[in-house]
Amino acid sequence: MMGPMFGGGGRGSASNPGGGLPFAGVPWEMQEGVNRLLADEPEHDDTEHAFSYRPAPDEKQRVTLRLLVLRHWNLALWSGLFVAVVAVANQAGPELVSYGINHGMVHKDMTVVLTVAILYVAAVGITAISQRAMVKVTGRLAAQVMHDLRVRVFTHLQRLGLDFYTDEKAGVIMTRMTSDIENLQQLLQDGLAQFAVQGLTMVVIMAVLFTTNALLALYAVLMVLPLLVVGSLWFQSASERGYDRVRDGIANVLADLSESLHGVRVVAAHNRQARNVVHHRNVVGEYRDANNYTAQINAVYGPGTQVLSYLSQAGLLAVGGEMVLHHRLSIGGLTAFFLYMNRFMMPIQLLVQQYNVFQQGQASLVKLRTLLDTAPNVGEKAAAVELPPLEGHIRFDDVSFGYDPAQPVIEHVDLEVPAGQTVAFVGPTGAGKSTLAKLVTRFYDPTAGQVLIDGHDLRDVTIPSLRRQLGVVPQEPFLFAGTIRDNIAFARPGASDDEVWEALRAVGLDDVVTRMPSGMDTEVHERGQSLSSGERQLIALARAFMARPRVLVLDEATSNLDLASETRIEAALDLLLQGRTAILIAHRLSTAMRADRIFVIDDGRVAESGTHDELVEMGGRYAAMYRTWSSHTSVTG
Amino acid sequence: MISDLVDSTTTPSPFEPAPEPARYGAPRRGIDPDRTKSWMRRALPIVAAHKVSFATALSVSFVSLVLQVEIPQLLGTDALNKAVVPFVEQASRPVAERLPASHFEHLLLHYVVLVLILAVGAGICGYISRLFLMTTAYQIEFDLRNIIYSHLSRMSFSYYDRVQSGQLISRANSDIRSVQMYLTFGPSILVQCLVAVVAFGYMLATNVALAFVAMCAMPFIYVAGVRMRAVLFPVSWLIQSRLAEVATIVDENINGVRVVKSFAAEGQQLGQLAGAARRLRWAYVKDADVRAQFTPVVQNLSQLGLALVLLFGGWLVVHDHLQVGTILTFSFWIVMLQMPFQMLGMMIMMGQRASASAHRIYEILDEPAEVADRPGATDLVECRGDVRFRSVTFRYTPDGPPVLEGFDLHLPPGQTVALVGRTGSGKSTVARLIERFYDATEGTVLIDDHDARDLTITSLRAHVGMVLDEPFLFSVSIRDNIAYGRPDADITDIEAAARAAGADGFIRELAHGYDTIVGERGYTLSGGQRQRIAIARALLVNPPILILDDATSAIDVQVEKAIHERLETLMAGRTTLIIAHRLSTIGLADRVVLVEGGRVVADGTHAELLATTPLYAEVLAQAAELEATEAETAEAPGAGEPEAADRRGGRDS
């Protein structure tokens, strides 16, 4: 996964960009431009990124725009400087023109005209140069802040536990990481700088107004500001609600799209396409309504402030005109005042526009903040230690647990797996077998009691040091987009080809992979059909083989396999399990029978335990299950 | 492509589930299918569908623009010159000739009121134009989203096998947004640019030479704009594609979160994302560099015109060829030009972003659906349930290995057939061809003696129920999940289906029963519970052909037995294809078909195959072995109450 990624393929190995995706990439007439652009792209370091379950001190602070920007204070400082230069140089233009007219042309002085024209060109040049620098610096600042935000939010997502991922729709999480962050781009790239430029301009002009005529300035300010403040306060609260609705709306749209894509087989099998099209339209329609609501608010606020500026000018005309009529003001004074007033209202207009961008970004930031404030269900203590290499002795000490504390799934379980033993959990669906396994891998923490490995309470050790020594093969084999090799070497990306082949041989996939045109480098992904579901399961097993864990948990990992493959794997498993602790969760008693010890889990408790023979002898639940099972095999004979 | 846009709900098929009440109208037009046209011309039909509101927005915004030009005029020239200046000027006249101050006050008031009226008018126009412009924008976005969604819903599986969801989601998100922004704000910026034309007209009328001097920078702006476009497009493309790269990583990370957590691969995933974020950052920096190169030029060149006017005009004035007032007026006009030119730069930028994005969206829309109804395809009615494969060969990709090769199979109506074979032998592919997820590469699949390709897809699928090996659930209530194929089913039918699938018991134990919302993909339920809901979902439709693709693998033996007992009655008169590895499941079938290497290698009863085909015994090796040792001791005990086992009803997967 290295080299410049480009085109529609998203991720793909450098040797096979695009990975056979139908997206052709760049239109041919633009290819040259793209090549030129990519020619000077540096190699980006794409290796493992420092990750810890414990948030760094600066990650504990609430995410605010100020903090995000201040992390790059030097860029922010430079951008502030250029912003100021642009604001001042911009104001110089009109001053120079009026000077040139009043002193040069009126007095027929060509040198003044020439000087002014040269100065004017210089001012324009300064504006252009500082503008250029400003765009460069703010662009970098925005890129940097967005990068930080992406990494930070994703880091937090990696810390969050499985409970978060089961409760939150994938599309909503996706929206936070994409749409919400992208929504800040505009604000960071232009918004903040514009905000500063216009704010500064307003201050400068205000100062000029007050020095010209304090009384009139006061009138003007009193006429404009109170209404502007009231209007802005209204806009703030109304747009906050509006943009929040918009963010929820887009999350729903993307969640619906994402589910439709991931569940596309079910959708097709049930002829739901037409109905789903209407459903999606309804979801998109709600999003449109939310957008339309913000359009209403904007349509009132934007032109409203403009009307306000005209009203203030009408007021100025009335008051100023009256003053002239009573000889308290000269015409020239009034005219000058009109001009300044105009220039005072311009930045307000632009500020109002930027305020809208700001509010949009703020709504996204609120969503991101909520996500970042979600505490992981499984955290790492400050004093957590690295788990030393494991023997693999597992003990449940009076463990109770419920996903919903009101509904316990596991109650007072005491259980011990000696190091190096293979145990099987059997029992009816929903009895809590997988839950026990999830407590061992610390996907969840028990509500009472403790789970210990080699005498360490799992809550006292660092999570990666624990999980790196555990291997789990879950029920659903999930394949990442990439090659078969990438998928198998998932836990050890640096593994050699020989090691990967060894893992493939162990699960009996070597024949299949050899027959593939690109062998181990065949591209697979989530839904791709180059592999059957059984083969996917085998890849998942090979993945666990590669990880060489001290403790292995197989959660129904062989249910999709035909019996021949299973037999073959179990031979390999026997090899793998040698000297390792293993927990098998099985419906097939044939799998369970291989275990050194069998635990019958029922109703969240250990109902029986012992070897296969002991349990059959005992004549309890296991014996009954075994009878049912073996009767099935014989009925068919 | 145009036919894509016909609202599918306007012609409800009797084979599809009842439509959801539509609260919003379908998009009226789609993109132009002609790929040779420019992206904007291809998008034109969508914009044209909203021409009334669009035209309203543009014309009203023009009016408000005129009003905005008018107000300063009224304030300055009229009010000051007529109501205030004469008063000051008359001071030099004899008192008798002076008009009273009250006269001027009235006049002043008159203008103030006039300005107020115009201001309110401008406000109202501004409100209307902005509202129409933005709602039209959102309407176009609405149209685009729905066009993409309905296009995707027509795509074949071979398409979904190749694309990554993250790519599609990103295109349906960032790319739509950038196209929509441009399509709406572009025209309004153009209206603003009209001011430039008007201003140039005024200049020409006043002084031709000076007008050309003022505008002499324009060709350079044009050249800069053209160059900027050429350089901006690749950068925009890069940004959009890297946004999609980020989206793809996130999408995979979320969907594969269990694997990531299991292998403590968080750091590695973070590394991937950080890499993508760095590449995106680089693209944005490049974008900033390009903008930095061109925006100052485009925005400030018009100002150079002013400097020249100052110089040349000044020379004219100094030599008495021109009045000072003219220069003043000219400088106002040139200032008026500034805003449009600043916006022009923005418009070029947005335009290039939109162009890159539009290409990416069209890439989705231009992909034809591979499995589509043939012209003249007929509906499958009163299906008997006869399925026949006639020397079918099938490849997932044109250059891939054949998964089925010369595959022949006949499923007579009402029969239950088990398909047995090793992992990767092609069993699931057989099921997918019956459902027409794919079409055979060679040979034919016949349903009731009709070539499946001559039947409408909806009518075919309405008669084929399928429980997939991967029990995908949607994050809606359990009731809605079961009723997925028949959303209007009443609760008694839903409960009956759930009972038949052995799911009713554990569903009732849940806190909210059938109204429980299952989390993303149903992960709040155990694998066995999900499979049972998936079976109930297929049973509710009551199809004459039922396919169970490894549908009970995660269900424990006792529960499976109970399900099978009920299925046996349900399967009566139904053609059922069972793909299974368990002997207990195979035992349900009238007939067993052994598949190996994409062909049928043996066909008969379980006993026959066991006796005649060594491969069959090998495939079933373990079970057969067990059978031999346990046959005499076997005795069928009461299966117990399977539901009782699910009392906890919690999540266990």
How many cross-chain Cβ pairs, A to B, lie less than 8 Å apart? Answer: 752
Binning pLDDT at 50, 70 and 90, where does residue A559 land? low
Where along chain B do its domains lie?
Answer: 1-154, 207-367, 413-424+464-628
pLDDT at A430 over 80: no
Q: Are A447 and A499 in contact (CB under 8 A)?
A: no
| pLDDT score of A264 | 86
Binning pLDDT at 50, 70 and 90, where does residue B626 land? very low
* Plot region of A604 (φ>0 → left; ψ -120 to 50 → alpha; else → beta): left
Query: pTM here?
Result: 0.86
Find the range with the poorest average confidence among A244-248, A499-503, B280-284: A499-503
Q: Which residues pair with B392 in a beta bridge?
A: B407
- Model confidence over A350-373: pLDDT tens digits? 888 889 889 999 999 999 999 999
| pLDDT score of B2 | 39
Distance from CA of A212 to the nearest CA of B (A): 19
The tokens describing B205, both together, are 């009328």
Q: Which residues pair with A424 in a beta bridge?
A: A584, A598
Binning pLDDT at 50, 70 and 90, where does residue A52 land? confident
Tell me what percent of the residues of chain A surpass a pLDDT of 90. 27
| pLDDT score of A632 | 58
User: CB atoms < 10 A from the CB of A493, how many?
Assistant: 14
Which comes out higher in pLDDT, residue B374 or B339?
B374
Is residue A111 within 8 angstroms of chain B, CB to CB? no
* Helix (H/G/I), strand (E/B), else coil: A208: helix
Alpha-carbon gap, residue A169 to B424, rounded angstroms: 32
| pLDDT score of B573 | 80
- Model confidence over A527-551: pLDDT tens digits? 666 677 778 888 888 888 888 888 9
pLDDT at B191 over 50: yes
- Model confidence over A175-187: pLDDT tens digits? 999 999 999 988 8
Contact A429 B270 (CB under 8 A): no
Which residue's entry shows tokens 């993250």?
Answer: B166
Q: Which residues pair with B578 in a beta bridge?
A: B418, B548
| pLDDT score of A29 | 67
Binning pLDDT at 50, 70 and 90, where does residue B394 land? very high
pLDDT at A474 over 60: yes
Q: What class has domain A48-373?
A: mainly alpha
pLDDT at A86 over 90: no
Alpha-carbon B115 to chain mean position? 48
| Residue B635, burial from CB neighbour count under 10 angstroms (0-12, 13-18, 19+) | exposed
Contact B272 A51 (CB under 8 A): no
Which residue's entry shows tokens 């259980």?
Answer: A415
Contact B314 A162 (CB under 8 A): no
Residue A38 CA neighbour count, 13 Å, CB half: 20
Distance from CA of A317 to the nearest CA of B (A): 7
- What is A393-469+581-637's CATH number? 3.40.50.300
Is residue B519 within 8 angstroms of chain A, CB to CB? yes
Contact A532 B423 (CB under 8 A): yes
Compute the radius of gyration of chain B from its Cα atoms: 37
pLDDT at B316 over 50: yes
Alpha-carbon gap, residue B515 to B548, rounded angstroms: 26
Residues 6+ apart with CB under 8 A from B189: B340, B343, B344, B346, B347
pLDDT at B652 over 50: no
Q: Select from A173, A156, A182 the least CA-distant residue to A254.
A: A173
Contact B284 A146 (CB under 8 A): yes
Find the range with the poorest average confidence among A493-502, B427-436, B633-642: B633-642
- Model confidence over B505-537: pLDDT tens digits? 889 888 788 998 887 776 678 778 888 899 999
pLDDT at A255 over 70: yes
The mean per-residue pLDDT over the stretch B531-555 comes to 85
**Which chain A residue is nearest to residue B619, measuring alpha carbons?**
A564
Contact A108 B648 (CB under 8 A): no
| pLDDT score of B622 | 46
Alpha-carbon B593 to chain mean position? 41
Q: How many residues does chain B have?
A: 653
Q: Are B179 and A287 in contact (CB under 8 A)?
A: no
Q: Are B303 and A93 in contact (CB under 8 A)?
A: yes
- Sheet with B450-451, side-by-side order of all strands: B402-411, B387-395, B442-447, B450-451
> Which of residues 476 through 535 in chain A touch B, CB cutoff 8 A?
476, 478, 480-481, 490-491, 493, 512, 515-517, 525-535
Q: Are A361 and A187 in contact (CB under 8 A)?
A: yes
Is residue B325 within 8 angstroms of chain A, CB to CB? no
Find the range with the poorest average confidence among B62-71, B414-423, B637-646: B637-646
Find the range with the poorest average confidence among A438-442, B205-209, B493-497, B581-585: B581-585
Alpha-carbon gap, residue B21 to B146, rounded angstroms: 16
Instruction: Classify each residue of A371-397 as buried b or exposed e, where b means 16 or more C-beta atoms within 10 Å of its C-beta.
Output: bbeeebebbbeeebeebeebbbbbbbb
Binning pLDDT at 50, 70 and 90, where does residue B12 land? low
User: CB atoms < 10 A from the CB of B132, how many?
Assistant: 23
pLDDT at B5 over 70: no
- Model confidence over B234-252: pLDDT tens digits? 899 889 989 998 998 999 8
Q: What class has domain B207-367?
A: mainly alpha
> Which of residues 136 through 155 in chain A touch B, CB cutoff 8 A?
136, 138-140, 142-144, 146-147, 150-151, 154-155
Chain B CB contacts of A287 under 8 Å are 142
- Model confidence over A564-618: pLDDT tens digits? 666 667 777 777 777 789 898 877 777 788 788 999 998 888 999 999 899 989 8
Q: Are B326 and B151 in contact (CB under 8 A)?
A: no
**Which chain A residue is nearest to residue B161, measuring alpha carbons?**
A528
Type of residue at A225? L
Where along chain A do its domains lie?
Answer: 1-47, 48-373, 393-469+581-637
Distance from CA of B643 to the nearest CA of A (A): 9
Is residue A453 within 8 angstroms of chain B, CB to CB? no
The tokens describing B607, both together, are 């006993």
| pLDDT score of B216 | 83
The tokens describing B79, both together, are 């009010």
Find the range with the poorest average confidence among A333-347, B95-109, B360-374: A333-347
In whole numbers, what is the pLDDT of chain A averaged over residues? Answer: 83
| pLDDT score of B285 | 94
| pLDDT score of A310 | 84
| pLDDT score of A101 | 79
Chain A CB contacts of B87 under 8 Å are 324-325
| pLDDT score of B408 | 93
Angle between helices A497-506 and A533-547 (to 10 degrees): 120
pLDDT at B404 over 60: yes
Alpha-carbon gap, residue B479 to B471, rounded angstroms: 15
The tokens describing A303, both together, are 């032109």
Contact A257 B149 (CB under 8 A): yes
Determine phi and psi for A138, rounding to 5 degrees: -65, -35
The tokens describing A464, both together, are 């990666």
Which comes out higher in pLDDT, residue B334 or A141?
A141
Q: What class has domain B413-424+464-628?
A: alpha beta
Determine phi and psi for B513, rounding to 5 degrees: 55, -130
Residues 6+ apart with CB under 8 A from A614: none
- Model confidence over A453-468: pLDDT tens digits? 999 999 999 888 888 8
The tokens describing A267, both together, are 């959708």
| pLDDT score of B627 | 41
Chain A CB contacts of B618 under 8 Å are 564
Is residue A163 within 8 angstroms of chain B, CB to CB? no
Q: Select from B309, B329, B318 the least CA-distant residue to B213.
A: B309
In whole numbers, what is the pLDDT of chain B averaged over residues? Answer: 82
User: Which of B26, B172, B527 lies nearest to residue A281, judging by beta carbons?
Assistant: B26
**Which chain A residue is nearest to residue B332, measuring alpha carbons?**
A94
pLDDT at B157 over 90: no
Which ipTM was obtained for this model? 0.86
3-state helix, strand, coil in chain A (%, to 5): 60, 10, 30
Is residue A328 within 8 angstroms of chain B, CB to CB? no
The three-state (H, E, C) secondary structure of B110-144, written as one string: HHHHHHHHHHHHHHHHHHHHHHHHHHHHHHHHHHH
